[in-house]
Amino acid sequence: SATGVFLSILYFFQKQNLEELKVFKELFTDFNSRYDLLNNKLNHIETITNNSDLLDDYFNLCAEEYLFYQKGLILDEVWGAWCRGILLYLENKVISDYWEDAQKDNTYYGLNTSKIINGAKK
């Protein structure tokens, strides 16, 4: 009977691990698909006259990624890579100015520049 309990516990943890991987894959795929739709526009942000909707979409995406990272559903390595990407965009003055102003409202689940910098080290 001890063997049966052990096998049941082992099965439970394996099933839980597979479910977590499935959720991670779904999130990862969704986030990357949404990012792909924004990437080209972000790279040409200077040519877009009304860029607030684009930047809101991008920073909302970043905030969602951060929220799921904090819940343990995004791997450290992935969060680190995403943060390094965010920092590259923040080198652009149009994007960084918007980000600095947008952070004042604290509408990004606590995501801020220092958390992005720390995340980039992962």
- Asked if residue 75 is part of any domain, the answer here is yes
pLDDT band for 11, please (50, 70, 90 cuts).
low
For residue 39, the one-letter residue type is N
Tokens in use for 23? 């959720």
- Asked if residue 10 is part of any domain, the answer here is no
What pLDDT was estimated at residue 10?
72
pLDDT in tens, 61-115: 999 999 999 999 999 999 999 999 999 999 999 999 999 999 888 789 999 999 9
- Asked if residue 1 is part of any domain, the answer here is no
Helix (H, G, I), strand (E, B) or coil at 1: coil
By percentage, how much of the chain surpasses pLDDT 70? 99
- Asked if residue 12 is part of any domain, the answer here is no
Torsion of CA 82, 88, 92, 95, to 10 degrees: 10
pTM of the model: 0.86
What pLDDT was estimated at residue 104?
86
- Asked if residue 104 is part of any domain, the answer here is yes
Task: Concatenate the DSSP letters of all residues of 28-87 into one string.
Answer: HHHHHHHHHHHHHHHHTGGG-SS-HHHHHHHHHHHHHHHHHHHTT-S-HHHHHHHHHHHH
- Asked if residue 15 is part of any domain, the answer here is no
Mean pLDDT of 3-18: 76
Which residues form the domain of 97? Answer: 21-119
- Asked if residue 3 is part of any domain, the answer here is no
Please state, in angstroms and rounded to a whole number, the distance separating the CA atoms of residues 54 and 45.
9
- Asked if residue 14 is part of any domain, the answer here is no
Top mean-pLDDT range of 11-15, 47-51, 74-78? 74-78
Residues in the chain: 122
Number of domains forming the structure of the chain: 1
